[in-house]
Amino acid sequence: METVGTLALFVVFPLIVALLSEELVGWISPVSHALLRAAVRKLPPATQERYYEEFLSDAERLDRRPISLLFFALKTWLQASSLADTLAPGLLQTHLSAGSRRPRKPLPVIRRPDGSVLAVVGTAMILSCAVVMTWVLVDTVGPSAFIVGLVAALVPVVPLLAVYQWLDRFEPEPVGWVLFALGWGAAVATAGSLLLSLPPSIVLEAAGSDSTAISAVVVAPVVEETLKGLGIATLILLSRRPLGGVTGGFVYAGLVGIGFAFTENILYFGRALVDSGGVGLAASFFLRGVVAPFAHPLFTAAIGVAIAVAGRRNRRQRPAIVLTGLAVAIGLHAAWNLAAIGSVQGFLLAFLLLQLPVFATYVGVALWTRAREGRIIGQNLMIYAEYGWLSESEATMLGSLAERRLALERAAAAGGRTHRSAMHRFQAVAVRLAYLRHRIDRGTAPWDAQHREVELLRQLESERRANRDEDPDS
């Protein structure tokens, strides 16, 4: 009897459980997918296809873990109503109506991580790499040539920064992130490129190949553009907000590229001075600082634009878009370096046939996207104006750079620097709110978009109150 009981316990009972489990597992997958479809039906029609693709992508990874798949489907179904409120074409009435009548309770305070620890780590990395690169450059060209090269390399930086500041006038990036982007390009990307390019160079030399030419045309473009693109991704991660459209991609890529070119120019200018004296320095400065100062920013712009476009697509499309941008950047960089290692005539020919057309294309796209962003800002802020958070004149002003400049001047005339700063903060918050609303309506908003919207509405109310005396229509 004891043997029969033991047999039932260790053989028959597990066999029955296994058979039932197989039957149960067979039902879990269709039930889970039915829950996902039910969750999607709660969402606005314009966003259903995109989110269903994302849900299926997550579910595919859990197909071999049926219990996890079921819990994921249940969680998604339960959270769908909250997500539908976030993605709704109209704003939540409880939030919107607060602009026209005082809410019974203040808007809730939403606390999210600020990424300060990561920012400190990133800054420490930049400073460490800056020390390493300074030592490398001084050791390579000598102290005197380093100082001359440093001063000469700073000259093209000023007009380049002015160009990108002009391009970024709708939503100027914080000074801290501007410095971070420049520092990443000047220190981290250059130090990383120096380190990662050494092994291929050693292998090529050992194989008896022309290591200089191959490194310049193959190794350097791949390593340098990958590291610069990583800098853009790091900035997005640390700032915890998406790029402000294609223009944001241009700006961040340009800043990282400017930083990289700055350090590289110190090396080239210093070497030219040591090898050929003042004449060599003048020739190198003319080619790199006058003829082709936009080279590195233009290469990396392909990555920045790709990241900006990928942020507006579903998860499955994003890797392909970013990799395409990286491939374009590498191709442009390789073509430019191929011309640069040849004759001066070849360099100038590449400038005329490659860099000028690319530059003209980028300028046209940048101008078009900047004008488009003005329309996006104005149109999306009109939604808030309908509910009393803004006046129509304020929404119109915020979508026009000329009107925004006049508003800043009026604020400065009425209350000096304090009022101008308040107006500037008001404009910055309103623009961020408009971009968030645009992403919500397109179905590309993050899951916490509703919380971010509440935060921005609270800030908007505070800054608008500070500026109310300056706007006669408010």
CA distance 358 to 54: 35
Question: Is the same domain home to 58 and 147?
Answer: no
Question: Is the same domain home to 453 and 379?
Answer: yes
Establish if 308 belongs to a structural domain. Answer: yes
Establish if 281 belongs to a structural domain. Answer: yes
Amino acid at 191: A
Cα–Cα nearest to 388, from 461, 451, 471: 461
Question: Is the same domain home to 81 and 98?
Answer: no
Query: Which pLDDT value is given to residue 365?
Result: 83
Establish if 101 belongs to a structural domain. Answer: yes
Helix, strand, coil abundance in the chain, percent, nearest 5: 85, 0, 15
Runs of H (alpha helix) within 311-391: 318-340, 344-350, 356-386
Q: Which stretches of the chain score pLDDT less than 70? A: 1-28, 32, 43-55, 57-59, 61-71, 73, 77-118, 208-211, 239-244, 314, 342-344, 443-448, 467-474
Query: Which pLDDT value is given to residue 19?
Result: 42
Question: Is the same domain home to 58 and 126?
Answer: no
- Tokens linked to 396: 């119109």
Tokens 């200018």 locate to 269
Among 43, 72, 88, the domain boundary falls at 88
Among 315, 341, 367, the domain boundary falls at 341
Query: Which pLDDT value is given to residue 143?
Result: 92
CA distance 33 to 56: 8
Establish if 348 belongs to a structural domain. Answer: no
Number of domains forming the structure of the chain: 3
Question: Is the same domain home to 27 and 151?
Answer: no
Name residues whose C-beta falls within 8 Å of residue 149's C-beta, 6 or more positions apart in sequence: 137, 141, 265, 266, 267, 268, 269, 270, 273
pTM here is 0.69
Question: Is the same domain home to 193 and 266?
Answer: yes
CA distance 140 to 449: 50
Question: Is the same domain home to 130 and 204?
Answer: yes
Residues 250-291 pLDDT 10s: 888 999 999 999 999 999 999 999 988 889 899 889 888 888
Question: Is the same domain home to 148 and 100?
Answer: no
By the 8 A CB rule, do 55 and 39 touch? yes
Residues 407-422 pLDDT 10s: 888 888 887 888 888 8
Query: Which pLDDT value is given to residue 182?
Result: 94
Among 300, 320, 341, the domain boundary falls at 341
Question: Is the same domain home to 179 and 317?
Answer: yes
Query: Which pLDDT value is given to residue 67?
Result: 65
Establish if 346 belongs to a structural domain. Answer: no
3-state secondary structure of 113: coil
Question: Is the same domain home to 168 and 302?
Answer: yes
Question: Is the same domain home to 268 and 139?
Answer: yes
Question: Is the same domain home to 97 and 207?
Answer: no
CA distance 178 to 340: 29
Domain housing 411: 92-112+353-474
Cα–Cα nearest to 358, from 342, 326, 341, 336: 336
Query: Which pLDDT value is given to residue 427?
Result: 86
